[in-house]
Every structure is written in C-alpha cells, then in structure tokens.
Copies of this chain bind each other. A is one copy, B any other.
C-alpha cells in the first residue's frame, strides 16, 4: 500500500479554490501511485474558520466540498478533514471530522476527540468531541484515523484531557495511524511535534502518517513539516517547511524503517522563512500585491523591508523616508542605502511642514505647555497618515514595523508607527530582531551595518534614545519573556535576579498598554505566545497595573 501526504495551502472560506487545491493534490498523489492520499484538518474550509462556523450556509458549503471531492476518490482513497453536523440535538452542532472518501463517496467518518481550547484555539466553542472510535478497514489494512490534537494525549499523560483516542482504538488492532492536522508554527514547535509523534509510535509500535497544513491564515502560520514515522521510532521522512508538497510513501518500507530524515531546525531560518510566507499569504489571499512602509533608518523597519522585498519582490515594495527636524543625517542615509541595496522604490518626504501646520493650529489651545508626548506622537502620526494616503491612493498595504518588545511595553504611537494592515515582526523581541538582521546579512550586507550597531532611537525629540525610557533590550526582553511566555509572577522574576523596581515597572507597562495592542494589526505568530488572538486580556483590568 502506498500512502501520500499532501500538505497544501488552503484559504479560509475559499471553497472553490480549496476544492481545486485538493483535486490537484489528489491528481499528483495518483500520478505517484498512491492508494490513499491524506489532506489536512478542515481542508475544505481552511483553518481556523472561527465564527464562520456559526453560519449554516458556511457548513452547507463545506458539506458540498466533501461531496464534490468524493467524486475524485476514484482509484484512490482520500483522507480529508472537514466539518460535519452533529445529528443529535444535545451538544454542540458540529464535529471536527476526518472523512475517508473512496469509490466516489463518503466511506467512513471519524470525529475529533480532543478539542484544543487554549491560546489561539477555540475548538470547544464550535465542536462536540467524539464519543465513539472505530478503526477503518480498507484494502485489507486496519487504519486508525485521528485529527491533530487526538495524538497529543499519549497514554493519557496530557493533563488537559481525560481520553486518549488511540488507547480507545487499540483493541481493534489497527495496523497504521493516519493523522490530519492543522498544527500552527512556532519556532520551537516542530521539535515538540516530532517528540509527541515519536512518543505515540513508541507506545503503539505502529507506522504513523501525519499531514499538516502549510501556509498562513491571517496571523497564524502553518509550517507543513508533515511527518512519516516508522514503528521503530525513526523519522522516515519529515516534509519541507513552508511549502506545499505531495509525497507518496510505501507502507512496507515505512514499516521496515531504519532511516532517520529530519530537517535542521534553526531558529532564525524558521522565523525568517515563516515571516516571508506569512507576508506572501496575507497579500496573496487578500488579492493584494504591493506593500508600503516607512523606513526610519532603524533596525525594525529595515528588517521588515527586507522581509517584504523577499516575500513580494522588490518591485512590489515601496518605502518612504519621512525625516523630521529630530532625524539624524545618518538615519536618512542608512535608510536610503538600505532601499538601494534592496532595489525598492523610495521617496523622501520631510514632515516639518505638516508638523508646523499642526503646531500652529494647536498653539492657541495648548497654552505654551511644554513639548511632550503630544508633540512626539504628532510626528509619528503624520508618518502614519502619509503612508495611509499612499495606501488609499495606490492600493499598497501598509506594513506595521513594531517589534514585540515595544508592543509589550507600549513604546509606540497608536495610529502612528503602530498603524498598518499587518504586523510583520510584532512577535519578534527586539533582541531577536537584531539576530534576524545579522541572519539576513549572512551572505553579504543587505542591511547597512550602521543600522544594526547604532543605539535604537525613536528620534521624536533631540538626542532621544530608547534607553531614556526603557532598560537595555537584553535586560528588558528576558523579563518580558518570563511574564508573557512563561506566565511568571513578579515575585518569580525578581527571584531570578532582576531588579524589583524594574520588574514591577515593566509588568505594569505590559498590562496598562493592553488598549494599544487591542487596536493594532494582526501579528504574524512565530512564538508560543504572540499578542493577538492567542492572548486575551482585559483592557480595563487592575492586575499588576
């Protein structure tokens, strides 16, 4: 028996497009001589469909997708994730299911048991868990069908769950495990995933075929990396990251095992490639081509410009340099040099005249109050307005260039530098932005060295430095990481050796700036805990604030 894994890039709600993708993958698998082809979780509708699942019409379209796809299950069986309706009145209306299509029709359906409801996941909002587990027999093989999280409670060791679907199926003596997944990317997640899958194989001594989504759905990245494991616990194959691919495997060879083929998992490579894919898919799935961003001469906008040029092509990226009276010459020169290195169109629009017009209009109302954050923000907002004007005039999407450190502590101007349709590096801490810049320069200088080495500054008042308001980033970032990713208490973090006053100040800044993060663009997620849908905080809260 030959089994194909098709890691494809579908699009939430694009039923016609997804059907075409699935059909093409089936054809490829057929041409590779596959008996069965596996497509990812909820492949008909895309993942995550979120509240679209509450529309009956949307579910009808998904059911129609399965009906249409089944017609192509001729001389090949198709394993594919989709929704199905719960025929019982009690419980949630839907199941998250894996369908087995053969001979032109639905041959078998198994529902998902373990419904992740944490971080970015809301599955229990929509789905009823399975309460029956059946092993399918096809062409003389007994197959255990599972959906994503179903394999994440191996032997009931995951404290979140009380049922282990594979344990339930083992008395029906399955001979192989298929798993259809939508397992989101995080730079450490591919490692975790392999570990979990290996633990399954060690427990059940069965070959395992695991197919994952690839591509971005707004902020959620899926890295692919579909896996075939041999019963000996070796990785028979790990498929490519961040690209669509169909590969077919001979079951006997997989069972024989003895080969270990893993990809390298370099953090900066993964983040870089993930962000490039995220950008490509955001634009591609919205039907846009062109991006625009402000280039300040600082490292954040530099890194975003490089990512954009690599994702969209230099002809589709436009940058605007918008110096004020506080901008240093080297900032403008560095930015210009970067634009030239990238070969992207750049324009220089000094903002003084607009700043003066606001100052003049506000002067009678500001009663000679001293220059403060109001005037700083006016500059940032003029820049945001100029970018949005280009966006509205020419159809370029504005890229947000805020990093995770400044988003965390609210070091940014709402409607100013925090504007834009997509936050490209909002899940990348400043210290990681430096790493990423070095990574980009590894085969030759793309980002001028001076951009990487000079002290970060917002340049909104004379001789301003980030360190006027914030600690050094190599001190700030670990504190943020302990709080945001690790959920440590102030006391815990202080006990790690950080200054108490600093820790309390930083954590307070994180919590009182929830209102700013609430109004920013979706953030491409590369870590275990990104700002946005995976981190849901009260705005008017008093905790540590």
**Residues of A near any B CB (own CB < 8 A):** 11-15, 17, 46, 48-52, 54-58, 60-61, 89-93, 117-118, 122, 124-125, 156, 159-162, 216-219, 281-282, 285-286, 347, 349-351, 353-354, 356-358, 360-362, 365-366, 369, 372-374, 377-378, 381-382, 384-386, 388-390, 392-393, 414-415, 419, 421, 487, 489-492, 515, 518-522, 533, 535-545
B residues in contact with A384, CB < 8 Å? 415
Q: Is the Cβ of B392 less than 8 Å from the Cβ of A373?
A: yes
| Sample of 13 further A-B pairs with CB below 8 A, known A218-B538, A358-B385 | A11-B540, A50-B538, A54-B487, A55-B487, A90-B161, A91-B162, A282-B540, A353-B357, A354-B357, A357-B357, A361-B386, A372-B392, A374-B392
Q: What residue of chain B has the Cβ atom nearest to residue A356's Cβ?
A: B357
User: Considering the complex of A and B, which 4 residue pairs feature the smallest CB-CB distances, nearest first?
Assistant: A13-B543, A57-B489, A14-B542, A374-B392
Q: Is the Cβ of A389 less than 8 Å from the Cβ of B374?
A: yes
B residues in contact with A354, CB < 8 Å? 354, 357-358, 361
Q: Is the Cβ of B357 less than 8 Å from the Cβ of A515?
A: no
Specify which of B15, B218, B285, B487 is in contact with A56 (CB 8 Å cutoff): B487
Within the assembled complex, what's the spacing in Å between the Cα atoms of A159 and B128? 12
Q: Is the Cβ of B538 less than 8 Å from the Cβ of A55?
A: no
B residues in contact with A521, CB < 8 Å? 515, 518-519
Q: What residue of chain B has the Cβ atom nearest to residue A50's Cβ?
A: B536
Within the assembled complex, what's the spacing in Å between the Cα atoms of A281 and B542? 13
Given contacts A160-B91, A415-B388, contact A545 B13 (CB under 8 A): yes
| 20 A-B pairs with C-beta separation under 8 A | A11-B542, A12-B540, A13-B543, A15-B542, A46-B541, A49-B538, A54-B487, A56-B487, A60-B489, A89-B159, A90-B161, A122-B122, A124-B125, A217-B540, A353-B361, A372-B393, A377-B389, A385-B415, A388-B415, A421-B515
Specify which of B377, B490, B533 is in contact with A392 (CB 8 Å cutoff): B377
B residues in contact with A349, CB < 8 Å? 361-362, 365
How many copies of this chain does the complex contain?
2
B residues in contact with A14, CB < 8 Å? 542
Within the assembled complex, what's the spacing in Å between the Cα atoms of A377 and B393? 10
Specify which of B118, B347, B393 is in contact with A369 (CB 8 Å cutoff): B393
Q: Is the Cβ of B388 less than 8 Å from the Cβ of A414?
A: yes
Within the assembled complex, what's the spacing in Å between the Cα atoms of A361 and B515? 32
B residues in contact with A361, CB < 8 Å? 349-351, 353-354, 386
Within the assembled complex, what's the spacing in Å between the Cα atoms of A143 and B531? 44
In the assembled complex, how far is the CB of residue A488 from the closest CB belonging to chain B, in whole angstroms? 8
Specify which of B48, B381, B518 is in contact with A538 (CB 8 Å cutoff): B48
In the assembled complex, how far is the CB of residue A21 from the closest CB belonging to chain B, in whole angstroms? 12
B residues in contact with A216, CB < 8 Å? 540
Q: Is the Cβ of A489 less than 8 Å from the Cβ of B347?
A: no
Within the assembled complex, what's the spacing in Å between the Cα atoms of A101 and B55? 44
Within the assembled complex, what's the spacing in Å between the Cα atoms of A361 and B487? 47
B residues in contact with A545, CB < 8 Å? 13
B residues in contact with A542, CB < 8 Å? 11-15, 17, 285
Q: Is the Cβ of B388 less than 8 Å from the Cβ of A538?
A: no
B residues in contact with A415, CB < 8 Å? 381, 384-385, 388, 415, 419
B residues in contact with A91, CB < 8 Å? 159-162
B residues in contact with A372, CB < 8 Å? 392-393
Within the assembled complex, what's the spacing in Å between the Cα atoms of A385 and B377? 9
Within the assembled complex, what's the spacing in Å between the Cα atoms of A374 and B15? 33
Within the assembled complex, what's the spacing in Å between the Cα atoms of A372 and B390? 12
Q: Is the Cβ of A347 less than 8 Å from the Cβ of B365?
A: yes
B residues in contact with A48, CB < 8 Å? 538
In the assembled complex, how far is the CB of residue A361 from the closest CB belonging to chain B, in whole angstroms? 5
Q: Is the Cβ of A520 less than 8 Å from the Cβ of B519?
A: yes
In the assembled complex, how far is the CB of residue A354 from the closest CB belonging to chain B, in whole angstroms? 5
B residues in contact with A89, CB < 8 Å? 159
Q: Is the Cβ of A537 less than 8 Å from the Cβ of B377?
A: no
B residues in contact with A388, CB < 8 Å? 377, 381, 414-415
B residues in contact with A522, CB < 8 Å? 518, 539
Q: Is the Cβ of A543 less than 8 Å from the Cβ of B58?
A: yes
In the assembled complex, how far is the CB of residue A317 from the closest CB belonging to chain B, in whole angstroms? 16
Given contacts A218-B538, A353-B357, A490-B57, contact A90 B365 (CB under 8 A): no
Specify which of B125, B218, B369 is in contact with A117 (CB 8 Å cutoff): B125
In the assembled complex, how far is the CB of residue A498 from the closest CB belonging to chain B, in whole angstroms? 15
B residues in contact with A386, CB < 8 Å? 358, 361-362
Within the assembled complex, what's the spacing in Å between the Cα atoms of A538 and B117? 17
B residues in contact with A58, CB < 8 Å? 543
B residues in contact with A217, CB < 8 Å? 538, 540
Q: Is the Cβ of A285 less than 8 Å from the Cβ of B489?
A: no
B residues in contact with A159, CB < 8 Å? 89-91, 93
Within the assembled complex, what's the spacing in Å between the Cα atoms of A434 and B159? 53
Within the assembled complex, what's the spacing in Å between the Cα atoms of A353 and B520? 29
